Amino acid sequence: RMQNSRSKPCSCPSLKLREVASMYFTMVAAFLVILVVALQGSAPRESDFPYKVPLDPQGLLELSWNVSYPEQAVHFQLLIRQLQFGLLFGMSDRGEFENADLAVLWSDGHNSYFGDAWSDAKGQLHMDSQQDYQLLGARRAPEGLYLLFRRAFSTCDPKDYLIEDGTVHLIYGILEKPVSSLQAINISALHGGLQRVQLLKPNISIPELPSDMKTMEITAPDVVIPSQETTYWCYVAELPAGFPKHHIIMYEPVVTAGNEALVHHMEVFQCAAEFDSFPHYNGPCDSKMKPDRLNYCRHVLAAWAMGAQAFYYPEEAGLAFGGPGSSRYLRLEIHYHNPLVFKGRRDSSGIRLYYTATLRPYDAGIMELGLVYTPVMAIPPGEDNFILTGYCTDKCTQLALPAAGIRIFASQLHTHLAGRKVVTVLSRDGRERQVVNADGHYSPHFQEIRMLKEVVAVFPGDELITTCTYNTEDRSRATVGGFGILEEMCVNYVHYYPQTQLELCKSAVDPGYLRRYFNLVNRFNDEEICMCPQVSVPEQFYSIPWNTFNRDVLKSLYSFAPISVHCNKSSAVRFPGEWEKQPLPSITERLPEPVPRCPPASGPQPAAPEPLNLGQLRRD
């Protein structure tokens, strides 16, 4: 069932027809739907498609969608504001036009067609033998053409993209000339691009909000967006003097009208309480004028990325801010993505916090899982699939978590530019129990705090294992762990309640074992490499000749060597205990790989495009 079941004046067939059609979608049903849609005139209601994102930087293509978990399908509504001779829309592993799964609308100048297609490794288009993008309707409106279509999460068609939790790379291409056939479309000549979204939003019921709720907007002060492709803008805001402790219970984006395609993501950080004041800076985050003290504003209060909606805390918990021991200073960071290099565009976007003075039973906390920021964890160059794992061990959770455990309700995954996949798994007694959060198509350019589909309970003695997969095929030297953008991270910021003293539960390989690795490399190498203790770890990694032997031994080292565990309180002090040379947690039972669910066969569907009567496609 679609998420809004009220009767609609437009766009889609009645609910019953849609339910029937979605299960056994024959060509006859599709034709009936198109007929129904063609006879109705007003624009589809926004509430039927709660999620919305602009596909292109000019905002000419606008995608709305909803998710039906009972049907295991996504319903798409694509608004094309200035239709020319058609369009490609689809999904691919990382936003490439090769090996992509596509829905295509095209015109030969007289007739219009819609079909499910795929592109091969050379970018050549082919009509799919199994038509899984199911057209629900096409209709003109004053603002443009609406296309409605449906796609099951999993189709069991080897040419189709499997829609999973996590990031999806959507691609689009605009046809500016008529084409004689689908095969005649030249992908490389298209005006196109990509947009990243989380398609499968969690179906979470919205908690009741208190009557004394107030709002506060942390927004940029009428900034002129720089005329360059990428800008990170920093602005320091200040809470009122004597602002007492409150709970943030919800937040949402505030995006200046007209800038929806330029505001890529935004975060609000709280500054460190040990400083009495922070300079009121307003400018690019990478400017030499930015005060160094702003580097101490790193405690995340809110994070939003394009396509995300409002974020709600569970009704038992809120994120504390204000009051003693809490800084009055906040840093807003906005990532502007301006590939068309618009000049003079003004912006006052930001985040609206909803907060209450009536404190909820629990303070929410944020804990860092994964790898310590250290160069001892490194990725050789030229790797397409290199794996590093960070451990939050049973010893740490046993010591730091309350007997009743904690509840994780949201998660933000984080790597730098080489990150491709991130997953955190909960393990208990050596057996993997539950995936906390996973993103198999992770992009460092799309990071948001995601509410989890189900709350994860973590008890003392549990292990939280975070694994990151990296690609360094475009690099000529080793990539080491660290804070620099060309260094790497592997982090999962988990949001949980009740807050504990444990702020960071991470690991890295034991440095003594890494020294043994460097000695081994030196012994087996023809040319003498300086692996002397006085040379830094990054320099030693940079000087390694990356033959198969040196790569394999490093992988092996990371899979068996003892670890140094950081089981830290908020003051960056470790909990008391022995944390060096700890054994790697042993996993005796893995979670089974999820098996895609194939939709019921809907009768023979010929590999032929569906004709559409859109009149003359080009509007001059």
Distance from chain centroid for Cα 597: 23
Mean pLDDT of the chain: 88
pLDDT tier, 528 (very low <50, low <70, confident <90, very high otherwise): low
Domain extents for the chain? 51-201, 209-360, 365-594
Tens digits of residue pLDDT in 558-605: 999 999 999 998 767 899 999 999 999 999 999 998 888 876 665 556
Q: What is the DSSP letter of 580?
A: S
Give the pLDDT of residue 485.
Answer: 76
Identical fold, 51-201 and 365-594: no
| pLDDT tens per residue, range 41-75 | 344 555 689 999 999 988 899 999 999 999 999 99
Architecture of the domain defined by 51-201:
Sandwich (2.60)
Taking the C-alpha atoms of residue 620 and residue 616, their distance in angstroms, rounded to an integer, is 10
Phi, psi dihedral angles at 518 (to 5 degrees)? -60, -40
Instruction: Name the one residue in this structure whose structure tokens are 């690019």.
Output: 284
- Tell me the per-residue pLDDT of 491-525, one tens digit each, with 9 for 90 and over: 999 999 999 999 899 999 999 999 999 999 988 87
Nearest to 398 by CA among 458, 467, 465, 466: 458
Question: 145: closest CA among 43, 10, 260?
Answer: 43
pLDDT at 30: 36
Place of tokens 């050789």: 380
pLDDT at 309: 81
At what angle are helices 15-23 and 27-38 packed, to 10 degrees? 150
Cα–Cα distance for residue pair 226/233, rounded to 1 Å: 9
Structure tokens at 2: 């679609």
3-state per-residue secondary structure call for 175-209: CCCCCCCHHHCCHHHCEEEEEEEECCCCCCCCCCC
pLDDT tens figures, 375-387: 999 999 999 999 9
Q: What is the pLDDT of residues 422-444, one digit of tens each?
A: 999 999 999 999 999 999 999 98
The pair of structure tokens assigned to 409 is 């309700």
Question: Which CATH fold would you assign to the domain 365-594?
Answer: Jelly Rolls (2.60.120)
How many other CB atoms are there within 10 angstroms of residue 161's CB atom? 23
Identify whether 232 is a catalytic site residue: yes
Q: Are 255 and 306 in contact (CB under 8 A)?
A: no
Question: Is 246 among the residues known to form the active site?
Answer: no
Q: Could you tell me which residues are beta bridge partners of residue 490? A: none
Question: Nearest 5°: CA angle at 63, between 601 and 176?
Answer: 95
- 209-360 folds as Jelly Rolls (2.60.120)
Asked if residue 245 has pLDDT above 50, the reply is: yes
In whole angstroms, what is the distance from residue 615 CA to residue 126 CA? 25
Determine which one of 69, 126, 146, 232 is catalytic: 232
Whole-angstrom distance, CA of residue 510 vs CA of residue 532: 18
With vertex at residue 501, the alpha carbon angle to CA 498 and CA 502, rounded to the nearest 5 degrees, is: 95
The confidence band for 447, taking pLDDT boundaries of 50, 70 and 90, is: confident
- 248, two tokens: 């943030």
Given the residues 146, 235, 335, 414, the one annotated as active site: 414
Q: What per-residue confidence (pLDDT) applies to 601?
A: 62
Share of the chain above pLDDT 70, in %: 88
Q: Is 178 left (phi over 0), alpha (psi -120 to 50) or beta?
A: beta
pLDDT tens by residue, 465-494 = 999 999 999 999 999 999 877 899 999 999
Higher-confidence residue of 298 and 7: namely 298
Angle at CA 26, nearest 5°, toward 23 and 29?
A: 90
Token pair belonging to 465: 């294992």
- The DSSP call for residue 292 is G
Report whether pLDDT(34) > 50. Answer: no
Whether residue 393 is predicted with pLDDT greater than 60 in this model: the reply is: yes
More confident residue, 75 or 208: 75
Q: Among residues of the chain, what percentage have pLDDT more than 90?
A: 73
Please, which pLDDT band fits residue 531 given cuts at 50, 70 and 90? low
Pairing, β 362-363 against β 317-321: parallel
How much is the pLDDT for 546?
Answer: 95
How much is the pLDDT for 596? Answer: 81
Pairwise CA distance, residues 239 & 94, whole Å = 41
